[in-house]
Amino acid sequence: MSRADLPPALLFTGAGPLAPLQGWAAWTSSLRGWRRHLYAILMGAIAAAALPPVDLTPLLVVSFTSLIWLSDATTRRGGAFFLGWSFGFGFFVAGLYWIGAALLVDIASFWWLMPFAVLGIPAGLAIFTGLALLAANEARRAFALHGAARILALAVFWCIAEWLRGHILTGFPWNLVGYAWSGAFPGSDPMLQLTAVTGIYGLSLVTVTAAALPARLGDRAGARPWPAILATILLIAVPMVGGAARLLSSPRDLVPGITIRLVQPSIPEELKNDPAARADNLRRLIALSGTKSDVPIAAVVWPEAAAPPFLERDTELRQTLAVAMPSGALLMTGVVRTDSAPAKPTHIWNALEILNAGGDLIATYDKAHLVPFGEYVPLRGILPIRKITPGLMDFSAGPGPRTISLPDLPAVGPLICYEAIFPAAVIDEKERPGWMLNVTNDAWYGLTSGPFQHFAIARVRAVEEGLPLLRAANNGITGAIDPYGRVLARLDLDAIGALDVPLPAATKPTIYSRIGDAIFLALLVVELIVSFALSRYRQSR
Per-position DSSP letters for 194-228, written without gaps between them: THHHHHHHHHHHHHHHHHHGGGGGGSPTT---HHH
Q: Is 159 a catalytic residue?
A: no
What is the rounded average pLDDT of the residues 488-512?
Answer: 97
pLDDT > 70 in the chain, percent: 97
8 A C-beta contact, residue 263 and residue 303: yes
pLDDT at 9: 46
Q: Is 353 a catalytic residue?
A: no
Catalytic option among 269, 304, 312, 375: 304
8 A C-beta contact, residue 277 and residue 271: yes
Domain annotation covers residue 60: yes
Residue 462 predicted with pLDDT over 80: yes
What's the pLDDT tens digit per position in 27-80? 999 999 999 999 999 999 999 999 999 999 999 999 999 999 999 998 888 999
**Do 387 and 269 belong to one domain?**
yes
Catalytic option among 387, 417, 419, 465: 417
**Do 428 and 369 belong to one domain?**
yes
**Do 58 and 174 belong to one domain?**
yes
Domain annotation covers residue 157: yes
**Do 279 and 296 belong to one domain?**
yes
Task: Give the C-alpha separation, 423 to 60, whole Å.
Answer: 23
Q: Is 367 a catalytic residue?
A: yes
8 A C-beta contact, residue 186 and residue 192: no
Domain annotation covers residue 135: yes
Q: Which residues form the domain of 352?
A: 254-506
**Do 399 and 524 belong to one domain?**
no
**Do 311 and 409 belong to one domain?**
yes
What's the pLDDT tens digit per position in 352-406? 999 999 999 999 999 999 999 999 999 887 887 889 998 889 999 999 999 999 9
Domain total in the chain: 2
Task: Give the C-alpha separation, 54 to 448, whole Å.
Answer: 11
What's the pLDDT tens digit per position in 146-179? 999 999 999 999 999 999 999 999 999 999 999 9
Q: Whose CA is closest to 87, among 185, 211, 188?
A: 211
**Do 498 and 525 belong to one domain?**
no
Q: What is the CATH number of the domain that holds 333?
A: 3.60.110.10
**Do 475 and 491 belong to one domain?**
yes
What is the rounded average pLDDT of the residues 258-272?
Answer: 96
Half-sphere CA count of 230, side-chain side, radius 13 A: 4
Domain annotation covers residue 1: no
Beta strands 497-504 and 254-264, pairing class: antiparallel
**Do 320 and 411 belong to one domain?**
yes
**Do 35 and 141 belong to one domain?**
yes
8 A C-beta contact, residue 63 and residue 51: no
Q: State how far the alpha carbon of 261 is from the alpha carbons of 284, 296, 403, in Å.
A: 15, 10, 20
Catalytic option among 159, 312, 367, 375: 367
Task: Give the C-alpha separation, 183 to 442, whole Å.
Answer: 18
